[in-house]
Chains A and B, each alone.
Chain A
Amino acid sequence: MKQVGIKRYCHVKNNKVYLDGALIFEDVQNDTMKSFLKSAYRNFKIKYPKFFKMDEISKLGFLAAEVVLQNIQKNNIRESEIGIVLANSQSTLVTDKVHQESINDLNNYYPSPSVFVYTLPNIMIGEISIKHKFRGENAFYIFEHFNTEFVSDFIDMLFTDGKVKACLGGWIDQSEKDYEAFVYWVEHYDNKVFCPEHTGALVRKLYEKF
């Protein structure tokens, strides 16, 4: 019998935020991703000025993680035992194009370090880690579609190897036209959490809810 369960999950898409399947915030007025993320930030009273330095996809991942982790009990799990395993299909392509734009014209050549640093998908893992002081295993995978079977198997392996006692998993993606985030918190039953067993099938079912 598996020892690991999904305790919380969050979706952010179509300018809506859902926690454990329930709509907790929506903003139909703001039509850009940037303005939606700002209004969500204000709504959840996240006091973290560094948020505004992040690129859009990192803000998205950060926000989804904040929602999942708000008031969560970490039950004496050590920082080094909390992992983050994320994936997406575009890597950081939208931000990549911003950086590329800044170097296309040799006569107007001003690459920006604060843009460039966000051209790596694992930076959002870094941002979440910094805010929550998570110091455990990291991995960022790129798949065409969210391979829930692989990611959940991998997270399970981290648990059975004793490398993590809790793990944030998720799919955080952004293309020119659209964005979506699905983030979930997986914990070992040792911590007396009563929640559905973590399986690839359950992750897929929850992911596809919206």
Chain B
Amino acid sequence: MEELVEQLKVQIIKQLNLEDIEPEDIDPDEPLFGEGLGLDSIDALELIVLLEKEYGIKIENPKDGQKVFFSLNTMAEFITEHRKK
């Protein structure tokens, strides 16, 4: 799962245009929203696109995203369980 977390760091930085952030800056347990990386509602929707594009997982309701995207670790766990790609 560590490899997936590292992969996610790179993907997120790219998909969300996090210009001044390096992979090593992201703590996989840290909340992605609110404080942490300060992501917003559009970023949450972009993460939903990322999940579908890279891992074949479809989230239909943005509210379901809240738990999944809490941190990189929760994302990685969710992907490991549900991935189709």
* Partner-B contacts on A (CB < 8 A): 38, 49, 51-53, 110-114, 117
Contacts and interface: CB of A to CB of B under 8 A. Distances in A.
A16 B34 CA distance: 37
Contacts of B20: 49, 52
A6 B77 CA distance: 57
Contact of B19 (A49, A110, A113, A117): A49
- Interface SS of A by simple majority: helix
Interface of B: 16-20, 38, 42-43, 45-46, 49, 52-53
Contacts, number: 30
Given A113-B42, A114-B42, A117-B42, A52 B17 contact: yes
B49 A110 contact: yes
Nearest to B19: A52
A52 B46 CA distance: 15
Contacts of A114: 16-17, 42-43, 45-46
A114 B46 CA distance: 7
B16 A53 contact: yes
